[in-house]
Structures are given as structure tokens and as C-alpha cells.
Amino acid sequence: MGRPKLSVVMPVHARPEMTQEAIASILVQDIGDFEFLIIDDASSENMQDMLNTCKDPRITTLRLPISGGEALARNVGLQAAQGEYIAVMDSDDVALPHRMSRQVAAMERSPKIAILGSWTQKFKGSKIQEMHHPEADAVIKARLLALDGSAMIHPSTMIRADFLKRHSLFYPIRRTDTDHGLWMEAMFSGAQFANYPEVLLRYRRHDGNITNTDKDRLHRDKLGLRQQIVARFFPTLTHFEATQLASVLQGGGTGTVAEACVGYSLFLKAATQKQSIFGESRPHVNQILKEHAERLRQKIAFNS
Amino acid sequence: MPKVSVVMPVFNREHYVREAIESILAQDFEDFEFIIVDDGSTDSTIEVVSGYSDPRIRLIEMPVNCGVSTARNVGLRAARSEYIAVMDSDDAALQQRLSKQIAYLEAHPEIDILACRAIKVMGSQKIPMNHVTNDAEIKARLLGMDGSAMIHPTTMMRAKFLTENRILYPSRTVDEDHGLWIAAMVAGGKFASLEDHLFLYRRHASNITEQDQKQFQQEKTPLRTELLGLFYPALSGDEVYAIAVLMNPFSQLSLRNASDGVRAAFKAIQYNDPVFGESRPYLNTLIGSTAKRVITALEKSRPPRQGTQ
């Protein structure tokens, strides 16, 4: 077999039942020309038993000798993938049968797009909700500043492998938001993004998703990433100011009036950057700033 | 638990790996585990490693070639000891490397990452390298990104410091060592180096093309920009980037780039307060001489003035 068109890359770690459903949803795709790389991040025996029952010539299981975490496992997948496109998949989600064919066709039609997400259907038990993420590159890039999952849904994305190779891009080794880390680096390297305007993935939410556990730590982990994008979106700010602005965007801090004043002033300074740097929509960026600034303005006005 | 975990990634090094392994097994400090991470070698490396029956060796095999940064991280995750000794598969540690480094770290609990001096081996030539030994000089030299701060495989790290601050090697194809050191510095880490030469650092006959050189230098710009931002928190993102571009000897500078860089460099050297304990005089010299190099080049390219001899 020559180079496959597509590599589906899915790290697995826990929850064999959900993983089995995810695997089945890939094997019944309406196109067949893909390799399916399952990165077994040193999972339990239960998981291995389940994986052993999944017999399909397209599946290659790469078992890590030591659990390395999500980002490391995904990088192993990127390194091993041979396809022209890489479909990101999570082991607790379900791809609709036409996901791969739709996204591959769209990538072929639009050679400038480096990363393509899609609309998704969020579900938790019997509760479902459609999520229509923005289609336009400029809006997606601006939403990266919000760092809240409103830009793209990671497991819905398909990536042009050559773009990553050309710019030596990998998932940054972080505990959280490694997806945003990769997207930011891709944006800094000139990537274009889009979301396919049709639901192609069922995106499962469950109690195992990282939510309230260790919120403080998550907060700090996010701050570094925010600092990076703030510094690049607002290059006239000093490193010190960019760190402060990131912290205000994060909503952290002690909440004093003095702090609010500094934050409010920084928002005003940042909003003077009118020129798009990476193709991001500046009106949209400023909208995000404005929402935060308004919160601070009210705080100051209320206290004085 | 052994006192120290020696972590060595290896990829297709069948000719050199024996010397590296034997140099560790022959250490005068014996209480170690030796984690060898095979990064998907396709030559006889695994057979060579498996040929050693020393129970302290733990061979970990990656399922495919994952790159040195991933292999090192897997090694770090597998390590169980108080100290982690970095090792490369084409080098050799002298017999007292582990014992002297451990003795120093035991006596200096404030130090988190400890290097030692190395002897560069090029063919039959052996040249002792005299790296700086104190925290301030090491940190300032990180900005050079030229191997003058520390020789990575000579380092020993305090495992607790890494895990508490969640420090791992960044996913980069080059300079992953500097990436880790920057994270360590930001987390408040302290560096030092022993004065003793305890390591043979092999340099191979260079078949690196100028194109590769340009690519390597290019990839240093993001890390230099990050470091400059950290060392000069009062400079703007535009300014630190302009200095980073100036520092790349292969940059094709427009007059605008050169001017922005020189102005930012002159501004930078006004700031003399250490942020992480780094040596400001060294930073000033490095940045000042970079600006001077560019200015001299501009002067040379200026057409001769009319009316003078």
C-alpha cells in the first residue's frame, strides 16, 4: 500500500466502552482510504483486551512503554502518520459516517486551509446541543484569544500534514489546552483555518472531562498560553504589560480597584492596534477586549 | 529506589552506544538505574543494548521513531530517582561524573540543574572546554543559544524540581535543551556547573550544510524572542523581536530591520536589573556587540563620501 490519503490519529488511555464506540465510528466511514493509528498511552489490561478484539487491516496500534500524557501521545501519532491529512479523533467521541469524506473533499477543494474543524453535536447522556463554530478564518483566529473552546472543537479537526512538517509544529507538552497551543503556533506560522458548516462529530461531555478538578492549577497553566497570544496580537505592549493583560483576560487577580484601573487602561491601549497581523478579525478581537473592559469599567464606576 | 536515574535516548547509534553505556556502567558511584530509551532504531542498536546483562539497565522501546524530545520525556517519566543524569548515546562520562555531581547537589540544595565541564572530542583531538560555572553567567548565556551556557548531556537535574513545576522538554526538533532550561529559569530554578572536566563530548565531522545552518538559526528566533521578553520586561514585543532578528547572523536585514534592531538594542542595554539572577553585564555585552556588528556592516556598505581623500 502506498501513502494513504488520510491518517486518523486517536490516543487511548481509559474507558474501553466509549473507546470501542469511537473506533467503530471510524471503521464505518464511507471512505476507506485511510490508516487508523491508535496510540495506546500505556493503558490498562481491560483496554488492551478490547483493542485486541478490534481487527481491521487499517488499524495500527502503537503502544507507549510509559504513559506520556495526551500531548506526547498525539505527537507520537503525528510522527508516525503517513497520510496527506491527519484527522484528529478523541476516544470518547463519535464521528458521523461521512465526516472523513466531507473533510477530505473540503481540504482538496481549499489547498490553503491548514486546519479544518466542523460543527459538532455536544451530548451528555440524553442531553444534546448543536455547536456551530465560526466558518471564517478571521473569526476563528480572533476567538483563539478567548481560549475558551469557541474557535474550534479539537477532535473535529483535520490537519494538512505537510504544513506541520514544513513549520516543525507539534503539540506543546502541556497539561491543558495543548490543542490551542498547536493552533496558535500554526497561526503564527501563517496557517488558515475553517470549520465545515455541518455536524460531523458527536462530542461527548462526561464527568471525566477536565472541569473543576484542580482549577487553580488549570488557571496558571492557561496563563502562559494567554500571555503568548496576547504578546503576538498586541506587539506594542511590553512583556510586562502583555503578562498583565493576559492575567486580566483570565479573570484572575485580587480584584482591587487599582488592579481594575491598570487592566482597563491596558484594554484601551491594546484596542489601538487596528491592523490584522495573522489575518485575525480585529473588530472581533476588539469585541472580546471590550466585553472584558466593560466588566472592569463597571467595577471601577461601582466602587468610586 | 536508586539515588540517580541516568536517562539516555538512542536512535541508530550502533557504533557509539557501546562506549556510552560502558562509561556509565564503569562509574565509581554504583547506586543508579540506567534508562535507555530506544527511539525506534532500525540498525542493531537494540541488540547491542540487550547484550548487556547489568540489572541496572532498563531498556524502554518507543513503538516508532518519535524524535529526541519525546524520547527524553518518556525517559523522564520513567525515572524514579531523586536525581536525573542526562546522557547522550555518542558521548562518554568519566568515571567520577555521577559521584561528584551527586556530592555537589547533596551539599547545595539550592541548585536544581548542575552541569560539569566537558572535553570536546573531534577525531583524535581532545579539547577541554571551559564553561562558566555560576548561575548568573549560565542564565545570561542562554540567550546566545550557542552551547556556551551548559553542555546538555553533562547536566544532572533534581527530579522533584522538575515534577513540582511540571517541567518537561518542549516538543521541538532542535534546542529542546534550551527550551527546558528557560522553563526551569522561569520556575525559579538555579543552575551551576562543576569546574571538573568529567565528560567526553563527541563532535562529528560536520556535514551540516549552510542551508541547515540557516534553518537552525531561524528556529532559534522564537526562543531568543521569549528570553529577551523575560530579561527585558519593559521592552515591547516588537522591540524584543527586532533584537532577536538582529542576533541571527543569517538574517537578511532591510534598513528598517537593522534600524529597529539597533534602536531596540540601545534601549535594552539601559536596563541593568537582573530578573532571574542573570548577569546583566554579559547580556549588555552580547546585545551591544550584536548591534555593533550590524552597524559596522552598514558603515562598510556605505558609499565613500565625495570630496574627501
CATH number at residue A53: 3.90.550.10
From B202, B233, B252, the end of a domain falls on B202
Mean pLDDT of all residues belonging to chain B = 94
A229-261 confidence digits (pLDDT tens): 999 999 999 999 999 999 888 876 666 777 788
- DSSP secondary-structure letter at A238? B
What average pLDDT does the segment A162-184 reach?
94
What average pLDDT does the segment A151-167 reach?
97
Q: Which domain holds residue A172?
A: 6-204
Q: Are residues A37 and A174 in the same domain?
A: yes
Q: Are residues B37 and B106 in the same domain?
A: yes
Q: Are residues B152 and B21 in the same domain?
A: yes
Cβ neighbors of A250 (< 8 A, separation 6 or more) are A219, A222, A223, A226
pLDDT at A211: 53
- Number of separate domains in chain B: 2
Angstrom distance (rounded) from CA B305 to CA B309: 9
Q: Are residues A160 and A195 in the same domain?
A: yes
C-beta atoms surrounding A240 within 10 Å? 14
- Beta strand ranges found along B40-165 (DSSP E): 57-61, 83-86, 92-93, 113-122, 125-128, 156-158
pLDDT at A70: 92
Angstrom distance (rounded) from CA A115 to CA A162: 11
**In the predicted structure, residue A18 carries a pLDDT above the cut 90:** yes
**In the predicted structure, residue A197 carries a pLDDT above the cut 50:** yes
Q: Are residues B286 and B167 in the same domain?
A: no
Interface of A with B (CB under 8 A): 62-68, 71-72, 75-76, 79-80, 168, 170-173, 175, 231-232, 234-240, 242-243
Is position B290 within any domain?
yes
Q: What's the ipTM?
A: 0.86
Residues 162-201 on B with a CB inside 8 Å of A are 166, 168-173
Is position A247 within any domain?
yes
Is position B307 within any domain?
no
What average pLDDT does the segment A71-92 reach?
96
From A181, A204, A227, the end of a domain falls on A204
Which residue has better confidence, A224 or B27? B27
Is position A210 within any domain?
no
| Direct distance between the N- and C-terminal alpha carbons of chain A, in angstroms, rounded to an integer | 72
Longest dimension (CA), chain B: 82
Q: Does B159 touch chain A (CB under 8 A)?
A: no
What average pLDDT does the segment A62-85 reach?
95
Half-sphere exposure (CA, 13 Å, Cβ side) for B150? Answer: 30
**In the predicted structure, residue A217 carries a pLDDT above the cut 90:** no
**In the predicted structure, residue A1 carries a pLDDT above the cut 80:** no
C-beta atoms surrounding A147 within 10 Å? 19
What's B176's domain CATH number?
3.90.550.10
Q: Count of residues for chain B?
A: 309
If pLDDT is split at 50, 70 and 90, which confidence band does B209 have? confident
Is position B111 within any domain?
yes
Is position B188 within any domain?
yes
Q: Is the dihedral of CA B44, B45, B46, B48 positive or negative?
A: positive
Nearest CA in chain B to A230: B237
Q: Which of B219, B229, B234 sits opposite A231 (nearest CB)?
A: B229
Nearest CA in chain A to B227: A239
From B153, B178, B202, the end of a domain falls on B202
If pLDDT is split at 50, 70 and 90, which confidence band does A213 have? low
Q: Are residues B92 and B183 in the same domain?
A: yes
Is position B308 within any domain?
no
What percentage of chain B reaches a pLDDT higher than 70?
97
Q: Are residues B158 and B243 in the same domain?
A: no
Q: Is the dihedral of CA B253, B258, B264, B265 positive or negative?
A: positive
The minimum CA-CA distance between A37 and chain B, rounded to whole Å, is 12
B79-133 confidence digits (pLDDT tens): 999 999 999 999 999 999 999 999 999 999 999 999 999 999 998 999 999 999 9
**In the predicted structure, residue B306 carries a pLDDT above the cut 80:** no
Q: Which domain holds residue B226?
A: 210-301
Instruction: Indicate the pTM of the whole model.
Output: 0.91
Lowest-confidence pick of A243-257, B6-20, B284-298:
A243-257
What average pLDDT does the segment B163-184 reach?
93
Describe chain A by its helix, strand, coil percentages, rounded to 5.
45, 20, 35
From A204, A238, A269, the end of a domain falls on A204
pLDDT at A258: 78
How many A/B residue pairs have CB atoms within 8 Å? 87
What average pLDDT does the segment A204-218 reach?
70
Q: Does B243 touch chain A (CB under 8 A)?
A: no
What percentage of chain A reaches a pLDDT higher than 70?
95
pLDDT at B309: 47
- Number of separate domains in chain A: 2
pLDDT at B299: 84
Q: Are residues B139 and B234 in the same domain?
A: no
